[in-house]
Amino acid sequence: MQLSIPKDYSLEETGITQSLLKKWKTCRRAFLFSINRMHPTCIYEKWAYHNMMHAALEFLYKGNKMFDVFLTNYKLSVPKDEIQKTKSIAQAMLSRYLEFYGKDFTEKRFTAVEKEFAVRFGNYLLRGKCDGKFKDKKGRFYHIEHKNYSQINVEVLAKILKFDLQNNFYALADSIEGKRDIHGVLYNVLRVPQSRKEISPRDLLVELSEKIRKDPKHYFFRFEIMFHPSDLKDFEGTLRHQLSELYACLHTGVHCFYQNENACQLRGTCEYLDICSSGSFVGYEKIDTFFPELEE
Ligand code: SF4
């Protein structure tokens, strides 16, 4: 298995997203696979529900209301016999979400939804796509990030979010681009409901809608993370240091891209495990983009 640094990748011109930086920090071999644009073909099915919910929330926060029509037309990458049940789960979640967070759509003034950015940070280019940006009643700037989680430890997450890479990365990029302070992030979690195998899509919709109505806080919860200007200053210094290390590695050769066998099973299984375990690229394809998350 021979991979090298592709000639068309650079930190200066191609840039880096928070998820690519996370790979670099977690496992340098995963970073190397990623900049070679290796992508597991099975990943579309694995993330199908999450991608659909993300797209549906984008649809709603852009001011549309007919999410049931949106779901009906949405092309879902799951086996045929799972399509209707997966859409029933989404429908139950979204209709209750609109009831539970109705004020999002009347009181918050959204200035951007799913807007891509590419911001110069010294020699480097920071890239990404923020789920939403809004102003509160006092005119302060906030971001919102939507997450669909199956398993979650709320207490641990609440602590980790105080120094979360994605939140800091997006806030820093926005403060550079918009020359303004970002007051905070609303980290918006939707718990992925479980469903029984033998239930029909229609019964599932009724049963789940009732469950969520009885206990909406189990399915929907948020963390509000405030930024202090000194937090972002600290993050800026750390980011500069991390990117200069990566830059040096990219310009000195492939030996920096060692495996981190402790990272193969962190939050889920690493998407490159089949390559690392077999030395073969069977089951992977080379995609056109360095940043598939910006295409979604
Ligand atoms: S499977 Fe493990 S060693 Fe291989 S890229 Fe992923 S985290 Fe790194």
Q: What CATH number is attached to the domain comprising 180?
A: 3.90.320.10
Residue 286 lies in a domain: no
Answer yes or no: is pLDDT of 208 > 70: yes
* DSSP notation for 9-71: --TTTT-EEHHHHHHHHH-HHHHHHHHTTEEETTHHHHTHHHHHHHHHHHHHHTT---HHHHH
Closest Cα to atom 5, ligand 1: which residue? 30
pLDDT in tens, 248-268: 999 986 678 999 999 999 878
Residue 131 lies in a domain: yes
Q: Which atom of ligand 1 is nearest to the CA of 276?
A: 4
Report if residue 174 sits inside a domain.
yes
User: Do the bridges between strand 268-269 and strand 265-266 make them parallel or antiparallel, or are there none, so unpaired?
Assistant: antiparallel
Q: Residue 44 — very low, low, confident or very high, per pLDDT cuts 50/70/90? A: confident
What confidence score (pLDDT) does residue 254 get? 62
Contact partners, residue 166, CB within 8 Å, separation at least 6: 18, 19, 145
- Using the mean position of ligand 1's atoms as its centre, give its distance from the Cα of residue 235 in Å: 26
Is residue 186 in some structural domain? yes
Report the pLDDT averaged over residues 5-19. Answer: 96
Ligand 1 atom with the smallest distance to the CA of 29 is 5
Flag whether pLDDT at 98 surpasses 90.
yes
Residue range 107-133: average pLDDT? 96
Distance 27 CA to ligand 1 centre (A): 6
The pTM score is 0.93
59 within some domain: no
**pLDDT, mean of residues 92-110:** 95
Q: Is 1 in the pocket of ligand 1 (CB under 6 A)?
A: no
Q: Regarding predicted confidence, which is higher, 38 or 47?
A: 38
In a domain, 140, yes or no: yes
Q: 64-97 burial, b if ≥16 CB within 10 A, otherwise e?
A: eeebeebbeebebebeeeebebbbbbbbbbbbbb
The pLDDT score that the predictor gives to residue 1 is: 61
Rounded to whole angstroms, the Cα distance separating 256 from 252 reads 8
Structural domain total, the chain: 1
What is the average pLDDT value for the chain, to the nearest integer? 94
276 ligand 1 Cβ < 6 A: yes
User: Is 42 a residue whose pLDDT tops 90?
Assistant: no
| Residue of 48, 33, 114 lying closest to 83 (CA atoms) | 48
Instruction: Evaluate: CB of 38 within 6 angstroms of ligand 1.
Output: no
Beta bridge partners of 117: 128
| Predicted local confidence at residue 41, as pLDDT | 87
pLDDT at 195: 84
The C-alpha atoms of residue 264 and residue 276 are separated, in whole angstroms, by 10
Judge whether 263 lies within some domain: no
| 250-279: b (≥16 Cβ within 10 Å) or e | beeeeebbeeeeeebeeeeebbbebbbeee
- Which pLDDT score, from 0 to 100, does residue 39 have? 92
In a domain? residue 120 = yes
Q: Which domain holds residue 140?
A: 109-193+217-239
In one letter, which amino acid is 255? H
pLDDT confidence tier of residue 199, bands split at 50, 70 and 90: very high
Q: Give, for ligand 1, the residue of 36, 256, 259 to mutate: max count of ligand atoms closer than 8 Å to Cβ.
A: 259
Question: Which of 287, 242, 171 has the alpha carbon at shortest distance from 28?
Answer: 242
Using a 6 Å cutoff on CB, does residue 224 contact ligand 1? no
Average pLDDT over residues 187-214: 94
Asked if 106 and 92 count as a contact pair (C-beta separation under 8 A), the reply is no
Residue in 265, 266, 276 to alter for ligand 1 test, most ligand atoms within 8 A of Cβ: 276
Q: Is the pLDDT of residue 196 over 90?
A: no
**How many whole angstroms from 258 Cα to the centroid of ligand 1?**
9
